[in-house]
A = this chain, B = another copy of it.
Amino acid sequence: MSTVLNVSSAVQDRQQAIQQATAADFSSLFTTPFDVELVGRKNCENLIGSVAMPVGMAGPVKMSWQHEDNKSTSDEVRLPLATTEGALVASVNRGCKAINLSGGAQVFVRKIGMTRAPVFSCPDGETAQNLIKWIDQHFMDLKTVAEATSSHLRVIEFQAWQRGRQVFVRFVCDPDQAMGMNMVTIAVQRMAEAITQALPEVKLVAVSSNACADKKDSVINRVLGRGYQVQAEVKIPGQVISNVLKTDASSLVAVQVAKNLVGSNVAGSLSQNMQVANVAAAMLLATGQDIAHVVEAAQASTTLEIDGDGVYAAVNLPNLNIGVVGGGTWLPAQTQARQLIGGGQEIDTYYLASAIGVAALAAEISGMSALAAHHLAKAHQDLGRVSQVAEVSGSQS
């Protein structure tokens, strides 16, 4: 099956077939500003072309960041945002200005690991209980089996829940610099096979059970984490709030409570933020990530509290899934977008997570200020009229 097809000619064949079927002009869609052979093999079957997403830049923004080993760095970071939603880049940019005038953002990053949760069925509850004990007792063996599938993978731990006679086992793995969902799936499949081979009564229902949870709203990913946990914070003095953000501390906190804390609850939502989805989508897209992971990234919590004459502002993203190798990360423009963050150099996952955290913080600060100042609608109205919005206050959400 592994015959080497010429992807380029296959793309041309498809384009020609479409052209003949429709007699329309697809010249823009049929553009492929990347290596068609590679994309056709690695990223996208039945390739016919591409869509270009505009990239705007926010920042540079001052960021001090820290990861588990207590190494701390301070940088000025440019933020590439792939978006077609007018006002978003301007909003993030205004947030960056406020952050810079407040001395920069502090970021904390922690790697939790990628998770995949197969579900097994047993003949009865007792067998289900024994299955969990067995996995616990043979964890090191399973780890060996799993880690043989990739030199980049480490199995960290597992959690398990019984429901009737089914067992949901959530394996947590470190996929190194990759986002790792595929790598982890392959490893978990091997572990699942080892389990069912050792315990013939136990059947694998599916290698993925939604207890993972991948690309869905979930509380489990916030309670236990998934991918990376990032928090970015800054204390903004009163003067910066009035000069740059055109509002005041108490109005900001009033919107925080009414919108993020109570309004989310009215909606039956377990997210407590304004527009993290906007900025997460734009950053994931620009840097070559799996864009569907915006669902998990959007489950963020924003904090705004009175601090002196200003506010303490923070954004906490409990499950951010990213990588700098694998998937779409190798694409040339996306690679360069990450290098833009890194000041010309490739960055690691911690750095990328930090940059997304700061971008989210900037977006929340600016967006919430626009709401507090009643400028949100105005920003969008102006956008239709003026050519270049010097200081747009907020994007939608």
Contacts and interface: CB of A to CB of B under 8 A. Distances in A.
B119 A259 contact: yes
Given A51-B55, A163-B303, A165-B312, A259 B209 contact: yes
Nearest to A59: B46
B185 A396 contact: yes
B55 A50 contact: yes
B45 A266 contact: no
Interface in A36-57: 39-57
B50 A219 contact: no
Contact of A168 (B39, B182, B221, B263): B263
Contacts of A238: none
B301 A220 contact: no
A314 to B, nearest CB: 4
Contact of A163 (B27, B45, B220, B266): B266
A268 interface: yes
Interface residues of A, number: 178
Contact of A185 (B32, B212, B299, B376): B376
A347 interface: no
**What is the oligomeric copy number?**
4
Contacts of A74: none
A176 interface: no
Contact of A83 (B5, B41, B43, B53): B43
Contacts of A328: 53-54, 84-85
A257 interface: yes
A112 interface: no
B291 A220 contact: no
Interface in A209-245: 209-224, 231, 233, 235
A337 B29 contact: yes
Contact of A52 (B32, B261, B272, B303): B32
**Residue of A85, A119, A295 with most partner-chain B CB within 10 A:** A295
Contact of A316 (B18, B164, B213): B164
Contacts of A165: 233, 303, 305, 312, 314
A274 to B, nearest CB: 8
Contacts of A211: 263, 266-267
Contacts of A231: 125, 162, 164
A392 B44 CA distance: 11
Closest 7 CB pairs of A and B: A84-B328, A164-B303, A219-B268, A22-B344, A217-B217, A24-B344, A189-B377
